[in-house]
Structure 1
Amino acid sequence: MKTVSFAVPCFNSASYMDACIESILKCGDDIEILIVDDGSTKDDTAEKADEWASRHPGIIKAIHKENGGHGSAVNAGLAEASGLYYKVVDSDDWLDEAAMHDIMKYLRKQVERESPTDLVIGNYVYEKVHEGKRTIMHYRNVFPEGREFGWEDVGHFSQSQYLLMHSVIYRTELLRDMNLQLPEHTFYVDNIFVYVPLPHVRTMYYRDVDMYRYYIGREDQSVNESVMMSRIDQQLRVTRIMIDSVRLPDDVPDKRLEHYMENYLSMMMCICSIFLRMQNTDESEDKREDIWMYLKNRNDALYRRIRRSVLNMGTNLPTAVGRRIGLTGYRVAQKIFKFN
Structure 2
Amino acid sequence: MDKLLSIVIPSYNAEKFLDNVLGELVKCHNLNRLDIMVINDGSTDQTAEIGQKYQDSYPGSVRLISKENGGYGSTINTGIAQANGRYFKVVDADDWLDSKNLDRFVGLLKRTETDLILTPFWAFNDKNHHKHIPEIKPDDISWGQKYYLKEQGICPVPSMHTYTLRTKLLQENEIQLDEHAYYVDIEYILYPIPYVKTFEFVNIPLYNYRVNQDNQSISMTNMRKNQQQHSLVVDHVNSYIKEHADGLNPNQQELMVNRLSRMIATQLKIIDLAPIQMATKHELSSFYRKVKDKYYFEPKDINLPMRWLIKSRFNLFPVIHYLAILKMQLVHY
Instruction: Please name the residue that 1:314 is paired with.
Output: 308
Measure, in 2, the Cα distance between the counterparts of 1:28 and 1:244. Answer: 40
Measure, in 2, the Cα distance between the counterparts of 1:339 and 1:131. Answer: 11
Give the CA deviation at 1:188. 0.9
What amino acid is aligned across from residue 16 of structure 1 in structure 2? F
Give the CA deviation at 1:330. 6.0
Whether the aligned pair in 1 keeps the contact of 2:3 and 2:86 (CA below 8 Å) is: yes
Give the CA deviation at 1:155. 6.4
Whether the aligned pair in 2 keeps the contact of 1:273 and 1:288 (CA below 8 Å) is: yes
Instruction: Please name the residue that 1:216 is paired with.
Output: 211
Aligned pairs (5 A) from 1:23-102: 23-25=24-26, 26=28, 27-41=30-44, 43-102=45-104
Residue-pair matches, total: 326
Whether the aligned pair in 1 keeps the contact of 2:24 and 2:99 (CA below 8 Å) is: yes
**What is the percentage of aligned positions where both structures have the same residue?**
25
Are the structure 2 counterparts of residues 57 and 249 from structure 1 closer, same or farther at C-alpha, using a change threshold of 3 Å?
closer
Are the structure 2 counterparts of residues 180 and 31 from structure 1 closer, same or farther at C-alpha, using a change threshold of 3 Å?
same
Are the structure 2 counterparts of residues 139 and 152 from structure 1 closer, same or farther at C-alpha, using a change threshold of 3 Å?
farther
Q: Which runs of 5+ in 1 are unaligned?
A: 111-115
Q: Indicate which of 139, 145, 150 corresponds to 1:147.
A: 145
For residues 246-304 of structure 1, the C-alpha deviation after alignment (integer angstroms, 9 at most, x for no partner) is 139934644344333322112111110011011136665565445434434534xx44x
What amino acid is aligned across from residue 130 of structure 1 in structure 2? K
Measure, in 1, the Cα distance between the counterparts of 2:314 and 2:241. Answer: 33
Measure, in 2, the Cα distance between the counterparts of 1:57 and 1:16. Answer: 21
Are the structure 2 counterparts of residues 21 and 290 from structure 1 closer, same or farther at C-alpha, using a change threshold of 3 Å?
farther
Whether the aligned pair in 2 keeps the contact of 1:276 and 1:287 (CA below 8 Å) is: yes
Measure, in 2, the Cα distance between the counterparts of 1:319 and 1:289. Answer: 7
Measure, in 2, the Cα distance between the counterparts of 1:174 and 1:239. Answer: 23
For residues 26-56 of structure 1, the C-alpha deviation after alignment (integer angstroms, 9 at most, x for no partner) is 1521111110000111x21111111111111
Give the CA deviation at 1:129. 3.0
What amino acid is aligned across from residue 56 of structure 2 in structure 1? S
Whether the aligned pair in 2 keeps the contact of 1:270 and 1:315 (CA below 8 Å) is: no
Aligned pairs (5 A) from 1:1-340: 1-25=2-26, 26=28, 27-41=30-44, 43-110=45-112, 116-140=113-137, 141-151=139-149, 154=152, 157=155, 162-247=157-242, 250-251=245-246, 253-280=248-275, 288-289=284-285, 291-299=287-295, 302-303=296-297, 305-306=298-299, 311=304, 312-316=306-310, 317-318=312-313, 321-328=316-323, 331=326
What TM-score results when the alignment is normalised by the length of structure 1? 0.86
For residues 110-143 of structure 1, the C-alpha deviation after alignment (integer angstroms, 9 at most, x for no partner) is 4xxxxx2111110011100322322312334353
For residues 188-218 of structure 1, the C-alpha deviation after alignment (integer angstroms, 9 at most, x for no partner) is 1001100121121001122112211101122
Measure, in 2, the Cα distance between the counterparts of 1:251 and 1:330. Answer: 40
Range 198-207 or range 245-254, more displaced:
245-254
Q: Which runs of 5+ in 2 are unaligned?
A: none
Are the structure 2 counterparts of residues 288 and 64 from structure 1 closer, same or farther at C-alpha, using a change threshold of 3 Å?
farther
What CA RMSD, in Å, does the superposition of the two structures yield over aligned residues? 2.7
Measure, in 1, the Cα distance between the counterparts of 2:314 and 2:212. Answer: 33
Are the structure 2 counterparts of residues 121 and 205 from structure 1 closer, same or farther at C-alpha, using a change threshold of 3 Å?
same
Whether the aligned pair in 2 keeps the contact of 1:95 and 1:213 (CA below 8 Å) is: yes
Whether the aligned pair in 2 keeps the contact of 1:273 and 1:315 (CA below 8 Å) is: no
What amino acid is aligned across from residue 122 of structure 2 in structure 1? V
Whether the aligned pair in 1 keeps the contact of 2:194 and 2:244 (CA below 8 Å) is: no
Give the CA deviation at 1:97. 2.3
* 3-state SS of paired residue (1:9): strand
What amino acid is aligned across from residue 130 of structure 2 in structure 1? K
Whether the aligned pair in 2 keeps the contact of 1:314 and 1:329 (CA below 8 Å) is: no
* 3-state SS of paired residue (1:16): helix
Measure, in 1, the Cα distance between the counterparts of 2:16 and 2:149. Answer: 41
Whether the aligned pair in 2 keeps the contact of 1:274 and 1:330 (CA below 8 Å) is: no
